[in-house]
Amino acid sequence: MNINPPPDIPPEQSLIEYPSRFPIKVMGAHVEGFVEAIAIVARQFDPGFDAATIEQRPSKGGNYLGLTITVTATSREQLDELYRTLTTHPMVKVVL
């Protein structure tokens, strides 16, 4: 598996204009502390992140919890690092 970072995309070719509001879906086990842990990660990359804006959707069986966090994206590098941090977090199963 190749884990080289994608080549730099010139700003004029980016599909995202910065800064912009950017939603990210995060799924993990429905356990105590999951929402708070994701809020802490979000605040590391967006100091103005408000945990009250997190959308929550429990799975049908209630074992998993889907969250949508909306951060203020300021650069491709910021988003890449946020995705890396979320995907390696021990409480996270999937990031979209």
Looking at the chain, the whole-number percentage of residues with pLDDT higher than 70 is: 85
Nearest to 93 by CA among 54, 22, 37, 23: 37
For the cut 90, the answer to whether the pLDDT of residue 57 exceeds it is yes
**19 token code pair:** 């800064």
- Per-residue confidence (pLDDT) for residue 1, from 0 to 100: 44
Give the pLDDT band (50/70/90) at residue 13: low
Residues 15-50 pLDDT 10s = 788 999 999 999 999 999 999 999 999 999 999 999
State the DSSP H helix or E strand holding residue 81, giving kind and residue range, or none if neither: helix 76-87
pTM here is: 0.85
Q: How many CA atoms lie within 13 A of 63 on its CB side?
A: 2
